[in-house]
Amino acid sequence: MIDLRSDTITKPTAEMMHAMTTAPVGDDVLGDDPTVKALEERTAEVLGKEAALFMPSGTMSNQVALRCHTQPGDEIVIESEAHIYYYEAGAPAALAGVMCRLIPGQRGIFTGDALQAVLRPRDQHFPLTKLVCIENTTNRGGGSVWPIETLADVARVARQANLKMHLDGARLWNASVASGIAEQEYANYFDTISVCFSKGLGAPIGSALAGSAECIARARRFRKQYGGGMRQAGLIAAGALYGLEHHRKRLAEDHANAKNLAVGIAKLQGIDVDIDSVETNIVIGRVNAMPSEELAAKLYKEGVNLLATGPGMFRAVTNLTVRPEDITRTIEAFSKVQRMK
């Protein structure tokens, strides 16, 4: 089975598994797991921040960041289909008690002018706006990469309004490889950054939140409140550290595979894919001849597993398990299914 549902479906490589099974461990809640410490220090170094905190998931990392920057009743500004708002089970309201002020973006990206337009005046009738959240790459935007100039413009407006900045960088590694811009250069615009190890880097579990030493000390308490304190977490931190050190550059292979898939299926009648929009490892397309659920079911029978994401829409995500020959097989499966309609 060629699994294109997500880049979260990967399993540890033999080398990663060896790193995990031989990792020195301690009790991370008590602060003495050496592998977790090594991962946090290395993550902070890569992102150019003072400190980082290992988390079980990207959702927890994002939500702890929101809690660090806000008080209940405050407001955050976020793109209308961003992961924090769209896919995190209402956690901004349930956990941090904040409202979301939405900006409709283009493939998940908005401008400084768009941010300026939604900022509220300071008035007792309104919530206090505290935080701007950005996602890079954008999930529902098809893996699009924020142009650094647009990011700088949004940050300029945010700073003028005395707002904090948080980056949901679950796929920041992909953005960096695709753009050639170092992760630290992106991170410079943000007070906190969440990064994920269990997507393109291939680790089985884990994300991290990076920021100032003061902020991360505050985040450690909220992680405990949210149930994220782990004991001998070095076993999984070792997988994350291995991925961080060995799997970032290879993301270019995933990007090439995604582009080749888009080019191949765009040639088929009844399949619409914007090839130019495929910047990283996510391909979003439209099927015209059948419901997307039917397309996904027929492809599954041909050995290809992907997601139907809406009426007529499907998503394929290349990852560590997918080879160039799998892309050829996937295009052939699409072609066969289209002939079966």
> Residues 195, 210: contact at Cβ < 8 Å?
yes
For residue 74, pLDDT over 70 is answered with yes
Q: What is the CATH code for 14-246?
A: 3.40.640.10
> Residues 78, 103: contact at Cβ < 8 Å?
yes
Q: What are the tens digits of pLDDT across the range 178-209? A: 999 999 999 999 999 999 999 999 999 999 99
Three-state DSSP class for 224? helix
> Residues 259, 120: contact at Cβ < 8 Å?
no
- Averaged pLDDT for residues 231-240: 98
The two domains 14-246 and 250-339 share their CATH topology (first three levels equal)? no
Q: Does domain 250-339 have CATH number 3.40.50.1370?
A: no
- Domain residue extents for the chain: 14-246, 250-339
pLDDT of residue 315: 98
- Averaged pLDDT for residues 10-34: 97
- Averaged pLDDT for residues 22-29: 97
Residue 37's pLDDT band (cuts 50, 70, 90)? very high
Q: In whole angstroms, what separates CA 16 from the centre of its chain?
A: 21
Longest dimension (CA), the chain: 62
C-alpha 85/C-alpha 93 separation (Å) is 10
Three-state DSSP class for 78? strand
- Is there a cis peptide before residue 137, judged by omega within 30 degrees of 0? yes
C-alpha 187/C-alpha 209 separation (Å) is 12
> Residues 210, 49: contact at Cβ < 8 Å?
yes
For residue 340, pLDDT over 80 is answered with no
pLDDT of residue 289: 86
Residue 339's pLDDT band (cuts 50, 70, 90)? confident
Classify 315 in phi/psi space as left (phi over 0), alpha (psi -120 to 50) or beta.
Answer: beta
- pTM exceeds cut of 0.85: yes
Give percent above pLDDT 70 in the chain: 99
Give the residue among 286, 302, 311 at the shortest CA–CA distance from 339.
302
Residue 341's pLDDT band (cuts 50, 70, 90)? low
DSSP tag of 144? B
Q: What are the tens digits of pLDDT across the range 126-155? A: 999 999 999 999 999 999 999 999 999 999
C-alpha 29/C-alpha 138 separation (Å) is 32
For residue 63, pLDDT over 80 is answered with yes
pLDDT of residue 338: 81
H helices of the chain, where?
Answer: 14-21, 34-47, 58-69, 83-86, 91, 112-118, 148-160, 172-179, 183-187, 213-225, 234-246, 251-266, 292-301, 324-339
